[in-house]
Amino acid sequence: MNDRQDEAIELMTRFADRTGLTSERSAQRYLWTDAFAVCNWLSLDRATGDRAYSELALRLVEQVHRTLGRHRPDDSRRGWISGLPDGEGEVHPTRGGLRIGKPLPERRLGEILNERLEWDRDGQHFHYLTKWMHALDRVARSTGQTMFSGWARELAGVAHRQFTYEPHEGARKRMYWKMSIDLTRPLVASMGHHDPLDGFVTGLELERTARELGLPPDPALTAATADYASMLEPEHLATADPLGLGGLLVDANRIEQLSQGAASNELLEALLAAALVGLHHYVEQVDRSLPAARRLAFRELGLAIGLAALDPMKQHAARRLAATTVHQLDQLSRFLPLRTEIEEVWRTPAHREVDTWREHENINDVMLATSLTPSGFLSAS
């Protein structure tokens, strides 16, 4: 055991008790946080050899499906959001997508959009669904059970069908950022900056795992991945937002592990270039010097997790990456002290007493644990 691992175990243990995974408290499921949590439990299993952690991962998957795959308790609708009867819904829990798990009900049909309030309203987010696909894929690879890969691919199928659309006949497809719980109407019609990228990389990941598990190919998933590829604009991926920056680095790591040939190498270089531009902008921002009470930990920790992917990529660089990519990784590595800086801020107990930490305690605890022990989230094996 080392200090980082011990701290991750403590953070995850408190999270499990607080959210009803290991206690009698009512289940508090939130799809983004739970996706990272599943990967963390798998990471701790691998690090310690304690199978109890993988059992927690499986228990969390079941609880997420039974909670977020069904309508809210305060909704007049009942049962699985897919509309499937109970027995069939148990077998195909992701066929209707999964709710975000926000505290407020989704906006009613015809109700005027309040942008501030919308952040706290339920619905479905594409980029949350891709995180859950990734978590299910990691469970499939860890356990060898094809059921989890099947659930991930079913989720990928419904997400593609409902979130993508043609603005007009013959136009390039676009995506909605947020959909209603039943996926019948957009709640926020704009397209997420990195949603096509998430869809593309996740599709490649799911296809690879299905092949390795001996599952038949899914033409619908292949078509979905092609659609996302057609929406990609690699020259417009740069961002100075720390969470978005971390996502770029994580996706670059996944592309590198998937090794899909020349086209993927070009995308990898584009992602690393975008991350480099974003990091130069990020370090010039004043946010890093603000007191903890005026910062959002989970966004910064998203960057720390992305920076953790640089070392694995560099380890592979010498033997299979182009010289241009190796040079990019060398440039990006100059920002590695940022990971330590971010972790030191949020590992400080006093900084976890401020309101901005407490208000987002579950996601903060889990993402700090991911940064401390990132292999479960970042590894391809």
19 exposure class (CB count in 10 Å sphere: 0-12, 13-18, 19+): buried
Please choose, from the candidates 232, 201, 207, 235, the residue with its C-alpha nearest in 3D space to the C-alpha of residue 219: 207
In contact, 186 and 133? CB cutoff 8 Å: no
Q: Is the dihedral of CA 129, 136, 271, 333 positive or negative?
A: positive
Could you give the count of Cα atoms lying within 13 Å of 340 in the half-sphere of its Cβ?
Answer: 5
3-state SS of the chain: helix, strand, coil percent to 5? 65, 5, 30
Which pLDDT score, from 0 to 100, does residue 288 have? 83
Single pTM value for the model: 0.96
Low-confidence stretches of the chain (pLDDT < 50) are none
Q: For the packed helices 3-18 and 31-48, what is the interaxial angle rounded to 10 degrees?
A: 140
DSSP 354: S
Q: Is the dihedral of CA 228, 329, 364, 153 positive or negative?
A: positive
Q: Is the dihedral of CA 105, 111, 115, 116 positive or negative?
A: negative
Whole-number Å distance between alpha carbons of 186 and 123: 9
- Here the tokens at position 252 are 């670059």
Which pLDDT score, from 0 to 100, does residue 264 have? 73
Whole-number Å distance between alpha carbons of 160 and 140: 21
Count of other CB atoms within 10 angstroms of residue 292:
17
Q: Name the amino acid, one letter, at 349.
A: P
Question: What are the strands, taking DSSP E only, across 102-237?
Answer: 124-125, 164-165, 174-175, 178-179, 186-188
Q: Which residue reads 């401020």 in tokens?
A: 354
In contact, 202 and 156? CB cutoff 8 Å: yes
Count of other CB atoms within 10 angstroms of residue 248:
29
Which pLDDT score, from 0 to 100, does residue 319 have? 63
